[in-house]
Chain A
Amino acid sequence: MHNDPSEFEAIIERHSSEKQYLIPILQDIQSQFNYLPPVALATVSKQLDIPMIDIISVASFYNAFSLTPRGEHVVTVCMGTACHVRGGPKILEEFERRLKVPAGGTTENKQFTLETVACLGCCAIGPVVVVDGDYYAQQTIGKVESVLKKYASKEKNNGKPREN
């Protein structure tokens, strides 16, 4: 489970070991490993000469970072104002019921992580849901099952956004 510091040293090298690159380095680790493994944080702390407590405070402050492993697929439900008035919270509740996890949680089989986002800026086509970078416009409670099915059966649509 990602215990080899050299993996992370390579990422740090792509930037520089100056303190100001802490966030871009953590972003790269997050995007490659889907979370920030403990060994990664220790490696970054050592290489950038930043105390662990400061690293943790940055990692826990920004929403982009996760300190626990996330699921294979990340479902993000938009909680923006426009989505809210068009029923976004009801869509989230339906995902919570179907996946049996609260927002922020990961299913037991590690297949899905359910997240919320403050606003995706796609307000005209809300409520919006994004799964692994694919956008789903104008979601309804009734469409939730079919969105999940696409990923549960591992049928990917080659990363292309599609209407639902």
Chain B
Amino acid sequence: MASHAKINSAEELKKTVDHHTALRAADDRVTLTVSAGTCGQARGSLDVIASLENAIQEKGLQEKVRVKVTGCHGFCEAEPNIIIQPQDLFYQHVTTKDAEAIIQETVLKDQAVETLLYKDPVNGQTASKESEIPFYTKQNRLVLGDNALIDPTDIREYFSIGGYLSLAKSLSDMTPEDVIETITASGLRGRGGAGFPTGKKWDFTRKSKGDVKYIICNADEGDPGAYMDRSLLEGNPHRMLEGMIIGGYAIGASEGYVYIREEYPLALKNITRAVEQAHEAGLLGENILGSGFSFNVKVYKGAGAFVCGEETALMQSIEGKVGVPRQRPPFPAVKGLWKKPTNINNVETWANVPLILDRGSDWYAQIGTESSKGTKIFSLVGKINNTGLVEVPMGITLREIIYDIGGGIPDGREFKAVQTGGPSGGCLPKEKLDLPIDYQSLMQAGSIMGSGGMIVMDDKTCMVDVAKYFLNFLRDESCGKCLSCREGTQRMWEIVRNITEGQGKEGDLVLLETLAHAVKDASMCGLGQTAANPVLSTLRYFNDEYLAHIKDKKCPAGVCKDLVEYFIIPDKCTGCMVCARVCPQDAITGEKQQVHILDQEKCIKCGACYEACKFDAILVE
């Protein structure tokens, strides 16, 4: 039973929270907390949970030990991982085979299972606690941290960490104007991309004329490489929901929508359940906590269109239409969903709201920089040792994120670029590593904060190929309304594709830049206006690489198929025959313990031999 009977007043809610907080404190069982978000499940955490439960049952330890299933803790590289309390141990890469040892050694004897402890990929040092792991030490996990504390499918778990107290405080002690003032004073800015001041946006919608108003949670996290919103909705859906209800009260809205992309089945399931539980507990519906304020939330599943992350397109989609953006003004605050005043924020923004109400705007405004307050969650992915979600104060440098938290580049390779802001963002080179991260500095450097994707690239990543990748994405996702975006992204893609195929001409780069500016200037919505960023930023920082493709017909990173060939390095080839076996073309011949030969005529450059060779004997250039 994860539901809770109706709570009728702020006073009753406080009692409920006290009750569950006390239960949590009094629980002296050994707790095995397993991270089981989508990534964890993909790596087998559900099987690990089952085997832990089996082992507990076999030993008759049900009264003394419990398995707690939570959402993602952010350290995706270490999945499936387990935190064990009170021993305060962190185990990584746990498999079903480890269950027995965990119970036998750690639970029964208080001893660590050495093989499961974290080992630093850089210096090889072992860490037994989460707090000793460099990935965690530089973070400030104000929003994401609770994911590790609660079972997201049970509202009582959220109560046990003070859940919905900020809502109670808003409804009983504050006027809607007070709430807006607090959010404004905190300096919170939208975490979805553009970084518009949240309090200001709420104020516009509150002051807009109209008896019916809506609020929307934009959970259409479409930027490839960003998944913090998925993690928040999977791991702590009530927190986002609490933020929304507070927002509804502040703005004077009676109905809210969560627009979530269909590619996130677990997040969809957990937020849907959270809405149901909040209804049963009287935190949604009529006369919430006896305050006279009524508010309902509907969950709306997207149908797979990147442009629907744009607010006006998203609202078209909720209305059952093709998701095509429309001209602004009028802004949604004046004329939004069903032509009514509408306030739209993304998941991470909403999830910051309860925190600000709880700890106060002064406290919040101390974190971060002058213009960018609070923390931001980034997804640190790509060619990086510690992949995962990292939450850091604004103003931290790229170098700190990539090297101190991320542990640098794997396999001793060299850092080349970091891509931020998704398809609207740009690629920053190593000269920009000491850039403090905030909305302004990233924009000045030719990229954007965006929703927080941070894709690290090494010397084996071709920047022209990356530009081609984003252009291909954008030409596909352009809704087609503006000619500049529809045709412009297509033409830019064709030019860059030609360059990667060795068909680049002198003058292409000038043409590309001219086109990029035209697309930027003449398109109506954010998608088109920023579509040129991946091209412009790579042209700005990696011009030499474009020239190598055009003039020398070479891909220095060894990525662009038409410009590379595969070779076997005789000195390194041991004649193990592995490459010959995996080659789908039978292009590799050779006897056992003899240097193999690769027939260029037959080779289709699929990369199977490169992947299979354990001796680095395949050269791509």
Query: Which residues from chain A sit less than 8 Å from chain B, CB to CB?
Result: 19-24, 26-27, 57-58, 61-65, 79-82, 84-87, 90, 93-94, 97, 117-126, 128, 133, 135-137, 140-142, 160-163
Could you write out 17 A-B pairs with CB less than 8 Å apart?
A20-B319, A20-B320, A23-B320, A26-B303, A63-B304, A65-B303, A82-B382, A87-B607, A87-B611, A90-B607, A123-B225, A123-B387, A124-B77, A124-B387, A133-B265, A141-B607, A162-B44
Q: Tell which of B216-224, B271-279, B525-533 binds the partner.
A: B216-224
Q: Are B225 and A80 in contact, with the CB atoms below 8 A? A: yes
Distance (Å) between the CB of B94 and the closest chain A CB? 11
Which of B224, B479, B582 is close to A79, meaning CB atoms less than 8 Å apart?
A: B224
Q: Which residue of B lies closest to A18 (CB)?
A: B320
B6 at interface by CB-CB < 8 Å:
no
In the bound complex, do residue A118 and residue B477 qualify as a contact, i.e. CB atoms below 8 Å apart?
Answer: yes
In this complex, what residue of A is CB-closest to B41? Answer: A161
A24 CA / B319 CA spacing, docked (Å): 11
User: How far is the CB of B256 from the nearest CB of chain A, in Å?
Assistant: 16
User: B306: which A residues are within 8 A, CB to CB?
Assistant: 118
Closest CB in chain A relative to B455 CB, distance in Å? 5
Number of B residues near A (Cβ < 8 Å) is: 62
B611 in complex: contacting residue of A133, A135, A141, A160, CB < 8 Å: A141
B residues whose Cβ falls under 8 Å from a Cβ of A: 38-39, 41-44, 46-47, 76-77, 79, 221-227, 230, 262-265, 300-306, 317-323, 379, 381-383, 387-388, 419, 422, 453, 455, 457, 461, 466, 469-470, 473, 477, 479, 582, 584, 606-608, 611-612
Q: Which residue of B lies closest to A25 (CB)?
A: B320
User: Which of B221, B323, B477 sits near A121, CB closer than 8 Å?
Assistant: B221
B321–chain A nearest beta-carbon distance, Å? 7
Q: A22-B320, A86-B382, A161-B44 are in contact. Are A81 and B224 (CB under 8 A)?
A: yes
List the 5 closest pairs (A to B, CB-CB), nearest first: A124-B76, A63-B304, A121-B227, A135-B42, A119-B224
Contacts of B387 in A (CB 8 A): 82, 123-125
Task: Check A128–B42 contact: CB distance below 8 A.
Answer: yes
Question: Which A-chain residue is minimally distant from B95 (CB atoms)?
Answer: A163
Q: List residues of chain A with CB within 8 A of the CB of B221.
A: 121
CA distance A58 to B262 in the complex (A): 16
Q: Report the minimal beta-carbon distance from A86 to chain B, rounded to whole angstroms.
A: 7
CB pair A85–B303 under 8 Å, yes or no, is no
A80 closest partner in B (C-beta): B224
**Given A124-B379, A142-B582; 4 other pairs, CB 8 A cutoff:** A82-B382, A90-B606, A122-B227, A137-B39
A contact residues around B46 at 8 Å (CB): 160-161
Specify which chain A residues have a CB less than 8 angstroms from the CB of B41 in the assembled complex.
135, 161
B226→A121 contact, CB < 8 A: yes
Contact call B466/A85, Cβ cutoff below 8 A: yes
Q: When the two chains form their complex, are residues A63 and B303 in contact, meaning their CB atoms are under 8 A apart?
A: yes
Are B42 and A81 interface neighbours, CB within 8 A?
no
Q: Considering residues A87, A90, A123, which has the most beta carbons from chain B within 10 angstroms of its beta carbon?
A: A123
Q: Bound complex: CA of A140 vs CA of B608, how far in Å?
A: 9
Chain A: minimal CB distance from B345 (Å): 19
Q: How far is the CA of A84 from the CA of B611 in the complex (A)?
A: 15
- Which residues of chain B are near A93, meaning CB under 8 Å? 606
Q: Are A163 and B304 in contact (CB under 8 A)?
A: no
Given contacts A20-B320, A97-B584, A97-B606, whether A125 and B79 have CB atoms under 8 Å apart is yes
Choose from A62, A126, A133, A162 the contact partner of B304 (Cβ within 8 Å).
A62
Choose from B42, B382, B584 the contact partner of A137 (Cβ within 8 Å).
B42
Chain B residues within 8 Å of A125, by CB: 39, 42-43, 76, 79, 387
- In the complex, which residue of chain A has the Cβ closest to the Cβ of B263? A120
CB-CB under 8 A from A124, the residues of chain B are 39, 76-77, 79, 379, 381, 387-388
Q: How many angstroms between the C-alpha atoms of A24 and B227 in the bound complex?
A: 24
For B582, list chain A residues within 8 Å (CB).
Answer: 141-142
**Candidates B263, B317, B318, B607; contact of A119 at CB < 8 Å:** B263
A84: B residues at CB distance < 8 A: 224, 466, 469
With A and B bound together, what is the CA distance between A156 and B77 in angstroms? 27
Cβ-defined partner of A61 (8 Å) among B230, B265, B322, B584 = B322
- Contact (Cβ within 8 A) B303 A64: yes
Q: Is the CB of B224 within 8 A of A118?
A: yes
Which among A64, A119, A122, A142 is the interface contact of B39 at CB below 8 angstroms? Answer: A122
B381 in contact with A126 (CB, 8 Å): yes
Chain B min CB distance to A164 (Å): 9
Question: In the complex, what residues of B have CB within 8 A of residue A126's CB?
Answer: 381
* CB nearest neighbor in B for A81: B225
Q: Are B305 and A119 closer than 8 Å at their CB atoms? A: no
Distance between Cα atoms of A27 and B317 in the complex (Å): 13
Q: How far is the CA of A7 from the CA of B249 in the complex (A)?
A: 42
Question: A94 to B322, Cβ gap below 8 A?
Answer: no
Complex Cα distance A133/B268, Å?
14
Q: How far is the CB of A74 from chain B (nearest CB, A)?
A: 13
User: Judging by beta carbons under 8 Å apart, are B322 and A57 in contact?
Assistant: yes
CA distance A22 to B320 in the complex (A): 5
User: A residues within 8 A CB of B457?
Assistant: 85
For A20, A124, A142, which residue has the most chain B Cβ atoms within 10 angstroms? A124
CA distance A12 to B317 in the complex (A): 18
B461 CB, min distance to chain A CBs, angstroms:
5
The CA of A87 and the CA of B79, in the complex, are separated in Å by: 21
- Contact of A121 with B303 in the complex, beta carbons under 8 Å: no
Taking CB atoms, residues of chain B closer than 8 Å to A63 are 303-305
Collect the chain B residues with CB atoms within 8 Å of residue A97's CB: 584, 606
Nearest chain B CB to A57 CB, angstrom units: 6
Q: Which of A21, A82, A122, A142 has the most CB of B within 10 A?
A: A82
B469 proximity list for chain A (CB < 8 A): 81, 84
Q: State the CA gap A20–B300 with chains docked (Å).
A: 11
Residues of B within 8 A of A58 (CB): 320-322
> Which residue of chain B is the closest to A88 with respect to CB atoms?
B469
Whether B303 lies near A23 (C-beta < 8 A) is: yes
Q: Which residue of A lies closest to B304 (CB)?
A: A63
Q: Which of B43, B263, B382 contacts A81 (CB 8 A)?
A: B382
Q: Tell me the complex Cα distance, A145–B263, Å.
A: 25
Q: How far in angstroms is the closest Cβ of chain A from B79?
A: 7
**Cα of A124 to Cα of B469 in the assembled complex, Å:** 19
A78 to B320, CA, bound (A): 27
Which of B227, B263, B301, B455 is the one whose CB lies under 8 Å from A27? B301
For B388, list chain A residues within 8 Å (CB).
124
Alpha-carbon gap, A137 to B422, bound state (A): 22
- Write the nearest CB–CB distance from A144 to chain B, whole angstroms: 10
Chain A residues contacting B320 (CB-CB under 8 Å) are 19-23, 58
